[in-house]
Chains A and B, each alone.
Chain A
Amino acid sequence: MTPLRSWAGRRLLLGAVQAAAVPALVFLLTEALPGDAAVALAGDSPDPQRIAAIRAAMRLDRPAGERFLEWAFGLLHGDLGSSLVTGRPVGSYLADGFGPTLLLAASTLALLVPVSVALGVLAARREGGPLDRLISSATLAVYAVPEFALGVLLTSVFALRLGWLPPTAVGGAWRDPAVLVLPVLVLLARPVCSISRLVRAGMIEALGSPYVAQARRYGVPAARVHWTHALPNALAPAAQQLARTCDWLLCGVIVTETLFVVPGLGTVLLDAVAARDVPVVQGLAVVFGLLTVVLNLGADLLARRFAPRSAVAA
């Protein structure tokens, strides 16, 4: 077995353990929350007898361990269970929420990678020059703005005052792609800053290295030196950060989804927690856990490509 395969195998095994640990932990945490679905359903006038009746009807009166085992057994057969509140299968919740979330994440990523790499390379081209100072201070400033504040600011200027763009995503992106502009801008803001700063730092280090000096000495044009000789060395740390960003985009951009009324996974999660709808929360946790494991594995593979020596050190 090649070292790469055995390494990837070990990583996958570790990932499976992690993915299995996540639902157990989530179950424990939701058990620890005060109240349950029965309390939430009983409404504003909690009558203990009525709550108990609902609990019995929903089979919530059984011990927690038994309920967890039943749920875990279903999971092994691909059955995520049904919502306690509506009785709809959890799978349909996930399917409904995944579309908008994926669309938002994909549009953000499609812009994030080229923009942040370009900004990082541009800034690194002349360290300390006017362009570098402009990009560095702008990215630091934008990074310091929390997403809800940026969202509110952008909405009030471009949607409410100027009226150029819709303020929410109600109606859906397929009918009117313009609804995507503001949420994507808000989602882009911080990752662009962090990744471009990582790319810049990596580029500056690579540009000062003897191998870049050798390429220049031997007459390789500046653009080719930047993009094909220096940049690959600057991408390893950025790839890790990119995986973290992907994870964040797919597993809970709750603030942005709520702000722009996007019916994505973040909104599904928020509603499910409010209703103590444990099966839906657990279903989401499983999906998020698996996504995190897969994305980090991908990032590690990518980092190994850009920093092949790390395979020897590891």
Chain B
Amino acid sequence: MNPIVAVDGLRIEAGGRVLVDGVSLRVHPGRVTALLGASGSGKTTTGLALLGEYPEGARVSGSVRVPGGPLGHVPQHPASVLNPARRAGALLGDLARRSGQGRSEVRAALRAAQLPEPEAVLRRFPHQLSGGQQQRVVLAQALLLGARVIVADEPTTGLDPLTKARVVERLAAVVRQGVGLLLLSHDLDVVRALADEVVVLRAGRVVESGPAGQVLGQAGGDRPPGLPVPPPAAVRPPSGTAPAGVLTTGTAPTGTAPAGLLTADVLTVEQLTARHRDGPTVLHAAGLGVGAGECLALVGRSGSGKTTLGRCLAGLHSTYRGRVLLDGEPLPRSLRSRTRPQLAAVQYVFQDARASFDEHRPVAAQVARAARRLRGLGRAEADAAASRVLAELGLPAATAGRRPAALSGGELQRAALARAMVVRPKVLVCDEITSGLDGPTRGRVLDALARRLREADLAVLLITHDLAAADTIAGRTAVLEGGRLVGPGGAD
């Protein structure tokens, strides 16, 4: 079979850095080629090169041969390519008109992308669609165009295992229609499930490539395929040398909190029933407690109310009944009515670290500002405290002194953790902080969190759908299902 995409010796250099060095790959119709690698390994740069897009001022050599006509593109965050001011069908309509197709072809494309009720989706605005629906609309755009090749960039990042399985099925269905798929991913299980050919990238270079069975058999060790949740350190470089900082089980403070401590919980939640404004109740009488030096994992599917519970604790969600106690004292519902020590005591680390930083100011300055605002430190002291915490989390001054755009997702997540730690909180709420990260990076973040947990006597509520992450660091696990605590970790 002849490949429809052939990349040979691609080298891309921008700003004095070599982003991609000598990458060669093939994509065949109706088959999947996976580009596997950690974040920053050059996956996205290679994928965009197929679309004819290069970083500004890039020097490119090598050859990229793609079929005529547009290539499909499904980015990591499908919402970003949907126009917020237009209904979801706007671009689809334009594409259909240009190629002389009509509404029926648009509906057919949406159905082919596994959206069984196209009409309902077409008339809604992107923010009214779920993440999965957004992704399917973007897939439908590529199908409507008749793209023979689709580049899918981290299509499963940040998703829970069940949703992830659906995305895999969706992509497999598209490939069965004869489309060639270039899958950019760091998720070994997704690659294993989909890929026919695998190219492993590290620091812009191909370290391994060949048929999936052969490459993954080497890289994945003895883990059986089809395991729903990979352990945090699952993606090892195929050379076999584990990078520094990969979480080892010895660092987890599993079971360090004696039972007697539970009576003196730092944070107690009693009968918490929360609802959205004008909306349904999302939490039903949830109760739990977290002691100092303890990590409680709160696991559950997307939409089970995990984040809402965290937001209630942090003062970001105030329409609830019940009580949130800090050291036995009730915490005011809203951020605005909390005192400065109360604000400092409960810190929240968001899933989307990038969105939680001001893009115009250096990261270190923003971390230092938290110390000044919430601990009342002077400028010099705050700067020193910030750089100390950042360094502990593996961010040297040279990196932290840059603006958020110059930091990778993992680096920013550690900076967000540093920003929370620098105010010396009693309670840390971590909302899916590892879900957008690749294996080694995830290990480093969890490692840092575990260390701080023991050193600072922190009470951590780790909101996650990543059971492996929960297992390695949390002493107890509480399970939320449909807004109700069903697991063993609840206080009652």
Q: List residues of chain A with CB under 8 Å of any chain B CB.
A: 3, 6, 209-215, 217-221, 224, 228-229, 232-233, 235-236, 306-309, 312
Contacts and interface: CB of A to CB of B under 8 A. Distances in A.
Nearest to A313: B127
A212 to B, nearest CB: 8
A233 B85 CA distance: 6
Contacts of B127: 308-309, 312
Nearest to A211: B83
B155 interface: no
Contacts of A215: 83, 91, 94
B51 interface: yes
Interface in B36-76: 51, 53, 70, 73, 75
B73 A306 contact: no
Contacts of B377: none
B81 A219 contact: no
B35 interface: no
Counting chain A CB atoms within 10 Å of each CB, the highest count among B73, B81, B141 belongs to: B81
A229 to B, nearest CB: 6
Contact of B90 (A3, A219, A229, A308): A229
B83 to A, nearest CB: 4
A218 B141 CA distance: 9
Contacts of A235: 85
A232 B90 CA distance: 12
B86 A232 contact: yes
B70 A217 contact: yes
Nearest to A230: B83
B98 A229 contact: no
Given A212-B83, A228-B86, 18 more contacts: A209-B80, A211-B81, A213-B53, A213-B81, A214-B138, A214-B141, A218-B70, A218-B91, A218-B95, A218-B145, A219-B70, A228-B90, A229-B90, A232-B86, A233-B84, A233-B85, A306-B85, A307-B85
A215 B73 CA distance: 11
Contacts of B80: 209-211
A219 B98 CA distance: 9
Nearest to B142: A218
B81 A308 contact: no
A62 to B, nearest CB: 47
A232 B73 CA distance: 23
Contacts of A210: 75, 80-81
B278 interface: yes
A209 to B, nearest CB: 8
A128 to B, nearest CB: 14
B179 to A, nearest CB: 15
Nearest to A229: B83
Nearest to A232: B85
B91 A229 contact: yes
Contacts of B84: 211, 233, 307-309
Given A211-B82, A217-B51, A309 B125 contact: yes
Given A308-B125, A308-B127, A309-B127, A214 B91 contact: yes
Contacts of A307: 84-85
A214 B278 contact: no
B85 A308 contact: yes
Contacts of B75: 210
Contacts of B53: 213, 217
- The 8 closest A-B CB pairs, nearest first, are A214-B81, A232-B85, A210-B80, A211-B83, A308-B125, A233-B85, A309-B127, A210-B81
B144 to A, nearest CB: 9
11 contacts: A210-B80, A210-B81, A211-B81, A215-B83, A215-B94, A218-B91, A220-B98, A228-B90, A233-B83, A308-B85, A309-B127
A228 B85 contact: no
A54 B138 CA distance: 78
Q: How large is the interface on B (under 10, 10 to 19, 20 to 34, 35 or more residues)?
A: 20 to 34
Contacts of A212: 83
Interface string B290-324: 00000000000000000000000000000000000
A232 B70 contact: no
Contacts of A214: 73, 81, 91, 138, 141
Contacts of A229: 83, 86, 90-91, 94
A232 B83 contact: yes
A220 B85 contact: no
B84 to A, nearest CB: 6
Nearest to A235: B85
A235 B125 CA distance: 17
Contacts of A232: 83, 85-86
A309 to B, nearest CB: 5
Contacts of A224: 94
A217 B52 CA distance: 9
B434 to A, nearest CB: 24
Contacts of A3: 278
Nearest to B138: A214
Contacts of B81: 210-211, 213-214
A25 B85 CA distance: 39
A6 B279 CA distance: 14
Contacts of A211: 80-84, 91
A301 B70 CA distance: 38
Interface in B86-133: 86, 90-91, 94-95, 98, 125, 127-128
A2 to B, nearest CB: 10
Counting chain B CB atoms within 10 Å of each CB, the highest count among A215, A232, A235 belongs to: A215
A16 B310 CA distance: 39
Contacts of B145: 218-219
Nearest to B69: A219
A215 B85 CA distance: 14
A173 B196 CA distance: 77
A228 B278 contact: no
A220 B91 contact: yes
Contacts of A306: 85
A39 to B, nearest CB: 51
A236 B84 CA distance: 12
A235 B85 CA distance: 10
A107 B475 CA distance: 72
Contacts of B86: 228-229, 232
A257 to B, nearest CB: 37
A206 B372 CA distance: 35
A312 B84 CA distance: 12
Counting chain A CB atoms within 10 Å of each CB, the highest count among B86, B90, B128, B145 belongs to: B86
Contacts of B125: 308-309
B105 to A, nearest CB: 15
A208 B138 CA distance: 19
Given A309-B127, A312-B127, A220 B83 contact: no
A21 B84 CA distance: 37
A217 B145 CA distance: 11
A209 B84 CA distance: 11
Contacts of A236: 85
A68 B246 CA distance: 78
Contacts of B73: 214, 217
A218 B80 CA distance: 15
Counting chain A CB atoms within 10 Å of each CB, the highest count among B80, B83, B90, B278 belongs to: B83
A271 to B, nearest CB: 45
Nearest to A312: B127
A70 to B, nearest CB: 43
